[in-house]
Amino acid sequence: MRSRHFTLCAALLLSSAAAFAQSQQASRHITVYEKPGRFAGWPANHGIWIWGNEILVGFDAAPFVYRVDSHAISKQHEVDQLLARSLDGGETWTIEQPPELATPSWERYQGYPAGRGPALQQAPAQPVDFTHKDFALTARLTGNPGTSRLYYSYDRGKRWLGPFRLPDFGHKGTAARTDYIVNGKHDLMLFTTLAKANGREGRVACTRTRDGGKTWTLESLIGPEPEVANDYAIMPATLRFGPQHLYTAVRRRGFIEAYRSHDSGKSWKHEGDIAPDIGAGNPPSLLRLKDGRAALIYGYRQLPFGIRARLSSDEGKSWSDQIVLRADGGNRDLGYVRSVQRPDGAVVSIYYYNTDPKKERFIGATIWVP
């Protein structure tokens, strides 16, 4: 009996090792941005956009300061707001720094020095056309929670209009990142994070504008408020599966959970945990593939640190085992993935990363075929 048990365990270990090796071989890693002495991070806070083989993604950059248990970024310097652009499906990249996206001068961002960005406006002068062929929108936070703002572009992110204030709907601040669904020319849903009753970030919300960004309504709060004081539900990633059928993944402390709506976001049903036990917590990247499947990609903040994915063939009702895209991370200061699918079917997942905790954080991309 012991011999057969040992043989079975050995076979399972070999099978797991083979699957891991296969997943590693099926993906390619590319460096998007890396500079000596610099911390680059948090694409999920900024957004990603694609037009054919042209990809644009945003991220932060500031001096690198080594810390053991927190983000290795200087809090004595202004944080640069950068964009990386690829014209060949993510194979090569150039870096841009639009002045309109500079850290705002009107409020400090989580203790970092104030920047040189333009003044905050209440609303766009003209309704925004969300269906413009070269449209992009980014939602940003100042303070966590604090005042959130959005910008939009009609030329694929070369020039931006904004910032425009996002409402807090009577909550004690907002912490918006970029997660939106276009419904029509002037109709857009923005999924954001509002402050909990105690003033900390932690409540996901579905908001909507029907007049091109001039006014916003709170369509719903997604899920109950976390009961523990320092717990949170933040950073949603949302897909549309049908005219009124929405599905959103939410970052929790150590796992990712999901909610589903069949009435255009007015009410939601909890779908359970779709990525349990992922370490210190990391935001989901949710992508609808061209073959109809859904892909969930996220940072894995426990050993072995890296980037992982899961696939669903039934609109998120069930998910595959983890696909290991990358497992060479130096510590948990990584992830914040955003993903797009190229015309040829390959997925480009972009994140911040390190392979040695005492070295710079860089922006990496993994190109893989689900």
> How many residues appear in the chain?
370
Q: Could you list the pLDDT tens digit for every one of the 370 residues in the chain?
A: 434 443 334 443 443 444 444 444 468 999 999 999 999 999 999 999 999 999 999 999 999 999 887 899 998 888 999 999 999 999 999 999 999 999 876 655 556 666 788 889 999 999 999 999 999 999 999 878 899 999 999 999 999 999 999 999 999 999 999 999 999 999 999 999 999 999 998 999 999 999 999 999 999 999 999 989 889 999 999 999 999 999 999 999 999 999 999 999 999 999 999 999 999 999 999 999 999 999 999 999 999 999 999 999 999 999 999 999 999 999 999 999 999 999 999 999 999 999 999 999 999 999 999 9
- The pLDDT, as a whole number, for residue 112 is 61
User: Is residue 359 domain-resident?
Assistant: no
The span from the CA of 357 to the CA of 30, in Å, is 19
- The pLDDT, as a whole number, for residue 149 is 96
Nearest 5°: phi and psi at 20?
-60, -45
Number of Cβ atoms within 10 Å of the Cβ of 265: 23
Comparing CA positions, the residue from 208, 182, 206 lying closest to residue 192 is: 206
User: Is residue 255 domain-resident?
Assistant: no
User: Is residue 254 domain-resident?
Assistant: no
- Domain span at residue 124 reads 98-231
User: Is residue 303 domain-resident?
Assistant: no
- The pLDDT, as a whole number, for residue 169 is 97
Q: Is 219 left (phi over 0), alpha (psi -120 to 50) or beta?
A: alpha
- The pLDDT, as a whole number, for residue 174 is 95
User: Is residue 112 domain-resident?
Assistant: yes
pTM of the predicted model as reported, rounded to 2 decimal places: 0.91
User: Is residue 292 domain-resident?
Assistant: no
Q: Is the peptide bond before 163 cis (omega within 30 degrees of 0)?
A: yes
- The pLDDT, as a whole number, for residue 213 is 98
The span from the CA of 45 to the CA of 241, in Å, is 24
User: Is residue 148 domain-resident?
Assistant: yes
- The pLDDT, as a whole number, for residue 234 is 97
Give the count of domains, the chain. 1
User: Is residue 308 domain-resident?
Assistant: no
Residue 246 Cα distances to 189, 191, 193, 218, 334, angstroms: 11, 11, 17, 16, 28
pLDDT tens, residue by residue, 71-101: 999 988 889 999 999 999 999 999 999 999 9
- The pLDDT, as a whole number, for residue 301 is 97
Helix (H) or strand (E) holding 48: strand 48-51
